[in-house]
Chain A
Amino acid sequence: MSKDTPSYEQARDELIDVVRALEAGGATLEESLALWERGEALAKVCQQWLDGARARLDAARPDDEPDTDD
């Protein structure tokens, strides 16, 4: 993820705004499409952050006992 990628919180908060705007309607077709694309991009960024975090967590795991998901 490049340096200027928004932080997880920034991406998630903007995504929330995009969804709210889309659901409110009233945007032009062009704007709606642009909003939707922005939403998808933000969602991908969030997912990358979460996957990255999980990977780092698992990376630190080797010497522990396996994760006991209760």
Chain B
Amino acid sequence: MPVRTVAKALTDWIGRLGRLWVEGQVTQITRRPGQPTAFLVLRDTAVEMSLQVSCRARLIDELDPPLADGARVVVWGTPEYWAQRGSLTFAATDIRPVGIGALLARIEALRATLASEGLFAAERKRALPFLPRQIGLVTGRASAAERDVVDNARRRWPGVQFKLEPVAVQGPYAVTEIVGALSRLEADPNVDVIVVARGGGSMEDLLPFSDEALVRAIAGMFTPVVSAVGHETDVPLIDHVADLRASTPTDAAKHLVPDMAEELDRIGTARRRTRQAVVRTLEVEQHRLDALRSRPVMSDPGGLLVGWGNDLALLQDRAVRAVTGMISHRQHEVEALTARVTALSPQATLERGYAVLQRGNGAVVRDASSVARGERLTGRVAAGTVALIVDQDEQETR
């Protein structure tokens, strides 16, 4: 198929787009004095795409405020295919800056849609690591923001590690560079948290940080993202989607790393408190043990024995008394018996000089007549006995 056919087909297709409004950011304006037409490049705000735009030079001149590099504009015109040179340009017949109001409204609308998609939902927020191995830092090269984050973090935790990703923080290239930096940091396993930091700036300066592509990129990331963009009062959309919004780069540092001194102090307090708890327990147990040991049964076993001793003494005493009682009782008995024996016993009579005559068989002679001459008798006197023989009868002595 010859060029002319292809060229003709291209012209037709492209022609079919007709007139339309195209939004983008202006870069590389070429306006040569005396030339009727001027050229500029319109860049997409999110991706690396752009369009060659041609228009009447007067159109550029009449713009108030004058067109500046990086300005956000909407362009009215139609895409044209120049068959001769095979190039495509967008023939613009009207260029209008996108007003701040329009921009803000656009951002608010975007915020609403993204919010409705749940991108800003609280449960999506990921917690920051207590002590990150490495912190990804997306800021302007050698910017104040970078210094704030790094210096403050280092003061809090001297061992902190950063991975710097310098990017444009305003203008047409900002979004693509930031998104690129974010994906590189996301891919790095050592980076546990990523900070996007930028100092204060004008509404336009902060526009990239409300860009849909950037917000969606962050929403899709696993590594927690901290946004520290603009002044305290600025709230670009990045603030809504980030896992943590820090008011300023310095404030961000406070959330990134613990304060060494503070942590050491906390550890010190914890150690003291655990020690005191153990000391208290020991004291309590010591008191209990002392109490147990001081109980009479333990401290003075002698007392126990004394008790036993007392019992013993009591028993002994009772025993003795019992025995003595018995003895004296027996004593009395014996005495009584003895008395009776004595009373019954002739001894006393014998003592008084009487004697008792007893025949051989022990029978006592009471009747003189009952004895016969020559009979052997025993005479019992007080002391001992006398052998006797009767020499005369009773009749003879009468």
Residues of A participating in the B interface, judged by any CB pair closer than 8 Å: 8, 12, 15-16, 19, 22-23, 29, 32-33, 36, 39-40, 43, 46-47, 50, 53-54, 57, 60, 64, 67
Q: Does B108 contact A (CB under 8 A)?
A: no
Pick from A8, A33, A43, A50: contact of B298, CB under 8 Å: A43
Closest chain A CB from B324 CB (angstroms): 26
Closest chain B CB from A60 CB (angstroms): 8
Closest chain B CB from A15 CB (angstroms): 5
The answer to whether B282 touches A50, judged by C-beta atoms less than 8 angstroms apart, is yes
Cα–Cα, bound, A36→B316 (Å): 25
Closest chain A CB from B224 CB (angstroms): 37
Closest chain B CB from A62 CB (angstroms): 13
The answer to whether B285 touches A50, judged by C-beta atoms less than 8 angstroms apart, is yes
Listed by A's residue number, 20 A-B pairs whose Cβ atoms lie within 8 Å are A8-B285, A15-B289, A15-B292, A19-B295, A19-B297, A22-B297, A23-B295, A36-B297, A36-B298, A39-B297, A43-B292, A43-B293, A47-B289, A50-B282, A50-B285, A53-B282, A57-B275, A60-B275, A64-B275, A67-B279
Cα–Cα, bound, A22→B298 (Å): 9
Q: In the assembled complex, which residues on chain B have CB atoms less than 8 Å from the CB atom of A33?
A: 301
Q: Does B318 contact A (CB under 8 A)?
A: no
Q: In the assembled complex, which residues on chain A have CB atoms less than 8 Å from the CB atom of B21?
A: none
The answer to whether B289 touches A39, judged by C-beta atoms less than 8 angstroms apart, is no
Cα–Cα, bound, A15→B298 (Å): 10
Q: In the assembled complex, which residues on chain B have CB atoms less than 8 Å from the CB atom of A22?
A: 297-298, 304
Residues of B participating in the A interface, judged by any CB pair closer than 8 Å: 271-272, 275, 278-279, 282, 285-286, 288-289, 292-293, 295-298, 301, 304, 308
Cα–Cα, bound, A39→B292 (Å): 10
Closest chain A CB from B193 CB (angstroms): 34
Cα–Cα, bound, A47→B271 (Å): 25
Closest chain B CB from A43 CB (angstroms): 5
Cα–Cα, bound, A46→B272 (Å): 26
Q: In the assembled complex, which residues on chain B have CB atoms less than 8 Å from the CB atom of A39?
A: 297-298
Closest chain B CB from A37 CB (angstroms): 9
Beyond A23-B296, A57-B278, 10 additional contacts (C-beta under 8 Å) are A12-B292, A16-B292, A19-B297, A22-B304, A29-B308, A36-B304, A46-B285, A57-B279, A64-B275, A67-B275
Q: Which residue of B lies closest to A44 (CB)?
A: B293
Cα–Cα, bound, A51→B271 (Å): 21
Q: In the assembled complex, which residues on chain B have CB atoms less than 8 Å from the CB atom of A57?
A: 275, 278-279, 282
Q: In the assembled complex, which residues on chain A have CB atoms less than 8 Å from the CB atom of B297?
A: 19, 22-23, 36, 39
The answer to whether B304 touches A32, judged by C-beta atoms less than 8 angstroms apart, is yes
Q: In the assembled complex, which residues on chain A have CB atoms less than 8 Å from the CB atom of B275?
A: 57, 60, 64, 67
Cα–Cα, bound, A19→B279 (Å): 27
The answer to whether B271 touches A64, judged by C-beta atoms less than 8 angstroms apart, is yes
Cα–Cα, bound, A25→B242 (Å): 77
Cα–Cα, bound, A64→B308 (Å): 54
Q: In the assembled complex, which residues on chain B have CB atoms less than 8 Å from the CB atom of A47?
A: 289
Cα–Cα, bound, A19→B248 (Å): 70
- The answer to whether A46 and B289 touch (CB under 8 A), given A23-B295, A39-B297, A39-B298, is yes
Cα–Cα, bound, A40→B289 (Å): 11
The answer to whether B288 touches A12, judged by C-beta atoms less than 8 angstroms apart, is yes
Pick the most buried of B279, B282, B297, B301: most chain A CB atoms within 10 A of its CB: B297
* Among all A-B residue pairs, the 10 with the closest Cβ atoms: A22-B297, A36-B301, A46-B289, A43-B293, A19-B295, A39-B298, A23-B297, A15-B292, A50-B286, A53-B282
